[in-house]
A and B are shown apart, each in its own frame.
Chain A
């Protein structure tokens, strides 16, 4: 029985798995997560095992089956949900935000938003335009490690409605290796931009994506009070933090330039964002 460990945000989750396919799947999902394979103390253990009778894999938490089936995009979603939950369950040394993140021209841009806000799609599109992908889902800003930031650099996870973007993002109608099913697609970010370098810098820009199919596109600067309010809605580990992380979020909002991007298409986004990327 092999143990696959994922370390992020001061915690390590272990997944036990017996077969090569399971380990290959986990490597696909977590190979760029900082700290992978460290011998840190395991905070929680899940398991991924193969059932030869049904030719499926079972993802479980103790005796409880979380999901059973083929190792595809839908299966990956269950794995990510539970691994992230257990990584952050006791995280109290920093703020964890639902946010995409890219680096460009020496600056880091984070794209906070709740599930369905469009951050993965916009992050993927920015990556395809030359930004260095950092995450499409989660960042952790440590309060103790000199404000070091950790980006959850998993493959880009597109929901079903965004899968048609794949050809535009990767230049191929059938890029490999990609997990695609009715749930969506899990796309290695190097297929979108092979230039990847992990950063640990604090964000320089906060960009709140707001996809509005009928509204005029606009890049609107927003003040720290409004940014704080919006960021609190994206905070994952509030319950672990003093004052629910309110003061830490305020510090982030006061020290970082923030915008809201209303856009109808990626062409709109490109037009609105060009001044931002031009300024150094």
Chain B
């Protein structure tokens, strides 16, 4: 993955935040994605302006003790969003 690419979220989805977690449903593709609390945090940082590297950097600053795991988690969530066509990298 080129972490310097920006992660964009597609427009057509329904989303619900419940107890710090997120469920997303894409009505056209009829796919759904679950994001736990970590995934929800990453989702909130996907604003169409930040690259994957930016998101990793922001979270690593916030949670320095988890810096190593953060890169893995961010990449996993980005891959999940792209695979389910909820988001795309550009």
Closest to A225 in B: B21
Closest to A226 in B: B34
Judge if A68 is at the interface, Cβ distance under 8 Å.
Answer: no
Closest to B28 in A: A244
With a cutoff of 8 Å between Cβ atoms, the chain B residues found around residue A228 in the complex are 16, 18, 23, 32, 34
**Chain A facing B: main interface SS:** helix
Tell me the complex Cα distance, A226–B16, Å: 11
**Contact B19 A232, beta carbon cutoff 8 Å:** no
With a cutoff of 8 Å between Cβ atoms, the chain B residues found around residue A230 in the complex are 34
B86 to chain A, nearest CB (A): 12
Judge if B25 is at the interface, Cβ distance under 8 Å.
Answer: yes
Contact of B14 among A243, A253, A254 (CB under 8 A): A243
Tell me the complex Cα distance, A226–B24, Å: 10
Judge if B30 is at the interface, Cβ distance under 8 Å.
Answer: yes
Judge if B33 is at the interface, Cβ distance under 8 Å.
Answer: yes
With a cutoff of 8 Å between Cβ atoms, the chain B residues found around residue A246 in the complex are 14, 16, 25, 27
With a cutoff of 8 Å between Cβ atoms, the chain A residues found around residue B17 in the complex are 225
Judge if A224 is at the interface, Cβ distance under 8 Å.
Answer: yes
Mask: chain A, 233-268; 1 = CB below 8 Å from B; 0 = not: 100001000011010001001100000000000000
A interface residues, how many (CB within 8 angstroms): 16
| Interface bin, chain B | 10 to 19
**Contact A244 B18, beta carbon cutoff 8 Å:** no
B16 to chain A, nearest CB (A): 5
Contact of A229 among B19, B27, B30, B32 (CB under 8 A): B32
**Contact B18 A223, beta carbon cutoff 8 Å:** yes
**Contact A229 B14, beta carbon cutoff 8 Å:** no
Judge if B22 is at the interface, Cβ distance under 8 Å.
Answer: yes
Tell me the complex Cα distance, A244–B36, Å: 23
Tell me the complex Cα distance, A254–B17, Å: 11
Contact of B23 among A226, A238, A243, A244 (CB under 8 A): A226
The answer to whether A225 and B34 touch (CB under 8 A), given A246-B14, A250-B16, is yes
With a cutoff of 8 Å between Cβ atoms, the chain B residues found around residue A223 in the complex are 18-19, 21
With a cutoff of 8 Å between Cβ atoms, the chain A residues found around residue B36 in the complex are 226
**Contact A243 B19, beta carbon cutoff 8 Å:** no
With a cutoff of 8 Å between Cβ atoms, the chain A residues found around residue B21 in the complex are 223, 225-226
The answer to whether A250 and B27 touch (CB under 8 A), given A223-B18, A229-B33, is no
Tell me the complex Cα distance, A254–B21, Å: 13
A172 to chain B, nearest CB (A): 42
**Contact B30 A238, beta carbon cutoff 8 Å:** yes
Most buried by A among B18, B24, B30: B18
**Contact B18 A254, beta carbon cutoff 8 Å:** yes
B34 to chain A, nearest CB (A): 4
The answer to whether A243 and B18 touch (CB under 8 A), given A226-B34, A232-B32, A233-B32, is no
**Contact B27 A224, beta carbon cutoff 8 Å:** no
Closest to A228 in B: B23
Contact of B19 among A224, A233, A238 (CB under 8 A): A224
Residues of B in contact with A (beta carbons under 8 Å apart)? 14, 16-19, 21-25, 27, 30, 32-36
Q: Which 10 A-B pairs have the closest CB atoms?
A: A225-B21, A229-B34, A232-B32, A228-B23, A225-B18, A225-B23, A224-B18, A229-B32, A246-B14, A229-B23
Can you spell out 17 A-B residue pairs with CB atoms less than 8 angstroms apart? Answer: A223-B19, A225-B16, A225-B18, A225-B21, A225-B22, A225-B34, A225-B35, A228-B23, A229-B25, A232-B23, A232-B32, A233-B32, A238-B27, A246-B27, A250-B16, A250-B23, A254-B18
